[in-house]
Structure 1
Amino acid sequence: MSFLVHWAIVAASLWVAAYLIPGVHVGSVSALLIAALMLGLVNALVRPILTILTLPITILTLGLFYLVVNGVAFALAASLVPGFEIAGFGSAILGALLVSLVSSVLGAVLAPRR
């Protein structure tokens, strides 16, 4: 059940990003759901590897390069899902930032407390 709640939160966050950021476009509800699943997979599998590989430059930039890593993961998910498109790298960084913020807020409000 926790997986479904998290998936719905990421899908809702992705919808908010597509609504607010002009460079992020989701073509349909099915593309939105698949994109949320793919974003979760990319964040679980690829982003940790990117984080380790870019750790020196992330430390050098006092953590700001981590925004670029998140943008790359977001753009990678968009490239794997038909119907989920990103206009440019700036849109990918903003989209990743907004999805992260909205999912954190929604997770704090909707996720069951333990």
Structure 2
Amino acid sequence: MDNNDRNRDQNRTNNFSIGEMLLRVLITSIVVAIAAYFTPGFSIDGFGSLILSAVIIGVLDYLVQRFTGIDASPFGRGIAGFLVAAIILYVTKFIVPGFHISMWGAIIGALVIGIIDAIMPGREAL
């Protein structure tokens, strides 16, 4: 990655509007809801828990990417991204009331989210 790529990536993260953040939370909510529906050991109690979990997942993803440089995309970033996505899902259970997921549910959920990410064009991962 050269300096132009780094500057472009930094400008992209610095120019994040409120509309983009809301859209990202909405898309993450939809993806997490679909993953919870199809994944055994993964459930969400209500709409409030779903929205809060999407915000927390976004924040955790941002923090991991900011401090480690690993993007939590289950398929796009290989095994490291897959494991980080599973860990983010599992850690969210301790922060969000009504968000229930087992260790296997987090692993399967990361796989389901990876499949959904592959299907949804233009979607930036969890």
TM-score (norm 2): 0.66
What percent identity do the matched residue pairs reach? 25
- Structure 1 segments unaligned to the other structure (5+ residues): 53-62
Q: Does structure 2 retain, via aligned residues, the 8 Å contact 1:7–1:37?
A: yes
Larger RCO of the pair (alpha carbons < 8 Å, separation 6+):
1
Distance 1:85 1:72 in 2: 14
Please tell me whether residue 43 in structure 1 is matched to residue 37 in structure 2. no
- For structure 2, the residue ranges without an aligned partner over 5 or more in a row are 1-18, 71-77
Secondary structure in structure 2 of the residue aligned to 1:68: helix
RMSD of aligned residue pairs (Cα, Å): 2.5
Paired residues of 1:9 and 1:106 also in contact (CA < 8 A): no
- Cα distance 1:41–1:3, how it changes in 2: closer, same or farther (>3 A)? same
Q: Which has the higher helix share?
A: 1
TM-score, reference length from structure 1: 0.72
After superposition, give the CA deviation of every residue in 1:24-71 in whole Å (9 maximum; x if it has no partner): 10000000000000000111113554677xxxxxxxxxx435422221
Are 2:104 and 1:90 aligned? yes
Q: After the TM superposition, which residues 91-106 of structure 1 pair with which residues of structure 2 at under 5 Å, given as runs? A: 91-103=105-117, 105-106=119-120
2:52 counterpart (19, 34, 37)? 34
Q: May I ask how many residue pairs the two structures share in their alignment?
A: 99
